Structure 1
Amino acid sequence: MTSLYSHAGGDEALHRLEEIFYAKVLEDPLLKQLFPERRATHVDHLTWFTVESFGGPDRFTREVGFDHLIQVHRHLDITDEQRERFVELYMEAFDEAGLPADEPFREAVREHLEFGSRVAQQNSRAAADDDLHPLRAVPQWTWREPGQSGS
């Protein structure tokens, strides 16, 4: 089975995607409050997370750690509109970055975004640790690539 990471084009393609996406959120009126300034490490961290989640090297876990991700979302109070705009801009960036356009891959990426943005939103609203989403590690996202039979 081909990983999402390999199908996407590896580190270079995913870094290109995250660069385009990050530029979009920094300029978006709705998301600027969540991304108020460019941070030197943000694109790399986004890339490492996506790479690892899509089946590539585990650099995010080794060098950043999942707890960092939880903490940066705490108290942001992400709205439904912001969460939906995040997904929308990511899919725009996906197209602009020239990633494979086949529907099974696009659907897997969208499902990943929907799941991840809901986890981030829950964590952003957590008043106490018990309110956090139970996820404590980078999720390993898989897909049913074209030609693969169902079970």
Structure 2
Amino acid sequence: MTSLYDHAGGAEALRRFIDVFYSTLLEDPVLQPLFGKGSPTHVEALIAFDTEVFGGPDDFTRDWGGFQHIIDVHRGHRITEEQRQRFADLYLAAADTVGLPDDEPFRRALREHVDFGTEVAYQNSHAETDDQLHPLRTMPKWDWPQEK
């Protein structure tokens, strides 16, 4: 079974994708309050996260602290539903812009990944106690049904 990482085009394709995505979210007025002028390490973290989730090397767990890092960086941001949706929309638009594969199984997996991820981030951003956090505590591994 081919991983999403390999089907997307591997490290080079994911770097192009996240570079384009990140530049659009920094310019977006809805997301500007969350991201400001950006972080010099955010692009690298996003690339490492998507790489690992999509079945590539586990650099995010090794170098960034794994899923606990995701929990920590979202807490207290109080993401709005509009921001959550805009993040997902820009993510999918960037996939079109850079020409990630557009076959339905891959795009469905990409949509499900970003929808789930933004829901987790939304919930964790509003959590005032650990009990209010989303129950996910480990790095997800996104799978997908491939056409035969």
- Give yes or no for TM over 0.5: yes
> What is the SS of the residue equivalent to 2:118?
helix
Where do 5+ consecutive residues of structure 2 fail to align? none
**Dislocated runs of 4+, deviation >6 Å:** none
> 2:100 corresponds to which residue?
99
Is 1:125 paired with 2:126? yes
Q: CA deviation at 1:119?
A: 0.3
Distance 2:43 2:145 in 1: 28
What's the C-alpha RMSD, in Å, of the aligned pairs?
0.7
Distance 2:133 2:62 in 1: 22
After the TM superposition, which of the residue ranges 127-136 and 112-121 deviates more from structure 2?
Answer: 127-136
> 2:76 corresponds to which residue?
75
Residues 92-136 of structure 1, C-alpha deviations (whole Å, 9 max, x = no match): 101111111111100000000000000000000001111011111
> What is the SS of the residue equivalent to 2:25?
helix
Is 1:140 paired with 2:138? no
TM-score, normalised to structure 1, is: 0.95
**Aligned sequence identity (%):** 57
Higher helix share: 2
> What is the SS of the residue equivalent to 2:36?
coil
> 1:40 corresponds to which residue?
40
Residues 72-106 of structure 1, C-alpha deviations (whole Å, 9 max, x = no match): 10011111111111110000101111111111100
Distance 1:48 1:24 in 2: 19
> 1:116 corresponds to which residue?
117
Distance 2:16 2:137 in 1: 27
Q: CA deviation at 1:38?
A: 2.0
> 2:21 corresponds to which residue?
21
Distance 2:107 2:8 in 1: 10
